[in-house]
Amino acid sequence: MAAPPDTTVSQLVDYGRFPYRSWFRPGDAKADREAVEWAMQVTKMTAFGHRQVQSLSGGERQRAFLAMALAQQPDILLLDEPTTYLDIAHQLEVMKIVTDINKTYGMTIIMVLHDINHALQYADEIAVLKDKHIAAQGAPTEILTVSLLAQVFGVKADIFTNSQGAKVLSPVELV
């Protein structure tokens, strides 16, 4: 995602309040300010408010755009590949923030994920798509199996339990 040049993080997050403003109805300045502050706090971006978006790392930038979406105070948050192009640490950071938002604020989160292990670790329910149809749906640990990966994706995988006690799938070759 790109932001207009010279846009600060605070300005970007404030853009999330745009749906609540119009020429005829300027919005509630206090509600806008509180929503922006809350979104920046939840995404751990408060200290970055004065920074230009273009100066941020990929993970920081992703959190800034997440804060912009949260400033809209949606009931349902739609995320498309929120960890794409992020290093491992930033992937885990973004997924933890998203999970915390869901658990703490009861916000429904719908994500498109291609990382099967993120789906296993973070999702409450998944839908696996094949040829524009739902091939399987349900709890990740029940749905994401070695046989499903072979049938849907044509991939042979090993399965094991990690040090946290979570199931992990490791693709090893094409079927």
User: Residue 146: which domain range?
Assistant: 117-175
Residue 8 lies inside a defined structural domain of this protein? no
Continuous H helices in 72-167: 88-105, 116-122, 140-143, 146-148
Statement: residue 106 has pLDDT above 90 = yes
What is the average pLDDT value for the chain, to the nearest integer? Answer: 94
| pLDDT tens track for 145-162 | 999 999 999 999 999 999
Task: Determine, yes or no, domain membership for 162.
Answer: yes
| Domain assignment present for 90 | no
Domain count, the chain: 1
pLDDT of amino acid 30:
86
- Residue 143, domain member (yes or no): yes
pLDDT at 23 over 80: no
173 is a domain residue: yes
Strand-pair category, 155-161 with 133-138: unpaired
Q: Is residue 155 assigned to a domain?
A: yes
Q: Give domain status of residue 142, yes or no.
A: yes
Is residue 80 domain-resident?
A: no
Cα→Cα distances 122→6, 9, 125, Å: 35, 27, 9
Residue 64 vs residues 29, 71, 161: alpha-carbon distances, Å: 21, 11, 34
Q: Side-chain half-sphere of 131: how many Cα atoms within 13 Å?
A: 3
